[in-house]
Amino acid sequence: MAAAALSIVSFFILLIAVFAASTSPPSQDPWYEQPSNISDYAAGEMIRFRSVSPQLESILSLPVNVSVKAVYQYLFRTTDGLGDAVASAVTLLEPYHSDPSKLVGYQAFYDSANVDCSPSYTLRAGNENLGSMSSGLNVSEDIPFVSPRITSHFMDKLTTFQIAAALNLGWWVFTTDYEGLEAEFSAGLQSGHAVLDSTRVILDEGPSVGLSGNPRYALWGYSGGALASTWAAELQTSYAPELNYAGVAVGGTTPNISSVLQTINTGSHAALAFSGIYGQSKAFPNLTDWLNANLISSKSAQFYSIASGCFSQATSMGSGQDFYTYFKNGELSFYDAVPQSVFQWSGQMGLHGTPIAPMFVYKATGDEISPVEDTDALVKKYCAAGARIEYHRDLVGNHETEAISGSASALEWISDRLSGKPVSDDCNTQNVLLSSLSVESVALLGEELFTILQTALGGML
């Protein structure tokens, strides 16, 4: 009787523990707390570890069986844009029947200046332990920029589509909260450092949960995820020279934040300007001061309300807005020394180094978030400095469609890198008409994911 009572009690304690562990968003979850001695940790050193439920609702809601055997999370030390030690989290996913010698760092485009929209949480949010809490929290669904032609409900899960494809190939996958605990969306240095340090912690700690001690590893990201991956590639020689990525695949790159701001203002992606500036301001105190001095006070609350949403919520609030009307001097405000200096230092790619890992860059010439000319110029600059880049300029489509049509070629390219196929020693730019969906794509993606891809691209094929 007593034993039964005891086991009921421990059952409830366990239940509470499981519930607490899986429900709290990062802002309320002590697991994410940055230790006060953070600067005693080496860059990429583990601070904390936990194993979480492999019931990842956002992945499992794809109409495909996704192979997830175990999920691990690490809090690790990285370095922010000011050079200070900070903590960040990374999630490691192990598929069934895995090949522990293959590892991909997939950076999700969570595009939000709110830490509760970080992938370490949103991948898990919606799991059955969360219950009704998910509806009360504005958590990110990590929706790609959904265009009218891509309406299939499952395509609002693009990130999980790409993670699913990698897992179903037996690759281990890690996905980093690269914006850090402050959610410094669009801050290049913070994002790049966090990706590099998350790679370090996974390589160091992964073997104790079954990853090979010497895996081949690559990075992949689209849009905001490409921002983090490209900054990582660019900063690698100076910050993490011991790392040896087999390849870095990036699509829908945003090489120049100033140019993105101008391009998206008043359009359907205008919200990214609000959360992008807010994210950079959290990285640079002088930008916070500038923001508070330059925002029109009667519009400040509205500004922060849009700027602090998860991606989907921010998008619905900010769509079509003229961002500049929130500032005392309108667009001219942005010519001030503070925003100019910050955008140059932490928002312009190509100034901090040259990637040594081979790269696959894919971009639609019709990209309406970041003009293709910016990516042309970046690739040219990297190549002139000795980078090895295969660059696909897709003459069909825009930022949304390329996210999907480019994924098959990106996956094929990464697969070749993880199998050790050699790359060409120079750069190669091609204009393509939609990324070709070859026989190899079917083999790589599996029938189910291939069908999703075809459905999503619909009439374009």
Ligand X SMILES: *[C@@H]1O[C@H](CO)[C@@H](O)[C@H](O)[C@H]1NC(C)=O
Burial pattern 255-281, b for ≥16 Cβ within 10 A else e, equals bbbbbbbebbbebbbbbbbbbbbbbbb
Q: How far is the CB of 391 from ligand X (least distance, A)?
A: 17
Q: How far is the CB of 245 from ligand X (least distance, A)?
A: 25
- Smaller CB separation from ligand X, 342 or 379: 342
> 223: closest CA among 403, 103, 28?
403
Q: How far is the CB of 423 from ligand X (least distance, A)?
A: 27
Q: How far is the CB of 216 from ligand X (least distance, A)?
A: 29
- As beta bridge partners, residue 74 has 49, 90
- Smaller CB separation from ligand X, 368 or 396: 368
> 124: closest CA among 195, 23, 48?
23
Q: How far is the CB of 421 from ligand X (least distance, A)?
A: 31
Q: How far is the CB of 348 from ligand X (least distance, A)?
A: 5
- Smaller CB separation from ligand X, 83 or 459: 83
- Smaller CB separation from ligand X, 85 or 103: 85
Burial pattern 120-148, b for ≥16 Cβ within 10 A else e, equals bbbbbbbbebbeeebeebbbbbbbbbbbe
- Smaller CB separation from ligand X, 39 or 244: 39
Cβ atoms of 179 and 346 within 8 Å: the answer is no
- Smaller CB separation from ligand X, 105 or 255: 255
Rounded CA separation 176/183 (Å): 12
- Smaller CB separation from ligand X, 46 or 396: 46
Distance of CA 364 to the CA centre of its chain: 19
Q: How far is the CB of 451 from ligand X (least distance, A)?
A: 10
* Degrees to nearest 5, angle at CA 450 with 444 and 452: 145
Rounded CA separation 93/73 (Å): 9
- Smaller CB separation from ligand X, 212 or 262: 262
Residue tagged 């050079």 (tokens): 83
Beta strands in 326-425 (DSSP E): 359-364, 389-394
- As beta bridge partners, residue 88 has 76
- Smaller CB separation from ligand X, 87 or 219: 87
Rounded CA separation 206/213 (Å): 8
Q: What is the largest CA-CA distance in the chain?
A: 77
Q: How far is the CB of 134 from ligand X (least distance, A)?
A: 11
**Binding region for ligand X (CB under 6 A):** 35, 37, 40-41, 63-65, 82, 136-138, 256, 258-259, 262, 284, 286, 313, 337-338, 341-342, 345, 348
- Smaller CB separation from ligand X, 214 or 329: 329
Q: How far is the CB of 415 from ligand X (least distance, A)?
A: 22
Q: How far is the CB of 271 from ligand X (least distance, A)?
A: 12
Rounded CA separation 226/245 (Å): 15
Any residues with CB less than 8 A from the CB of 229 and at least 6 apart, and which?
A: 105, 107, 195, 219, 220, 221, 248, 249, 250
DSSP labels, 155-214 = GGGHHHHHHHHHHHTT-EEEEE-TTTTTT-TT-HHHHHHHHHHHHHHHHHHGGGGT--SS
- Smaller CB separation from ligand X, 136 or 459: 136
Q: How far is the CB of 385 from ligand X (least distance, A)?
A: 15
> 180: closest CA among 160, 202, 164, 196?
196
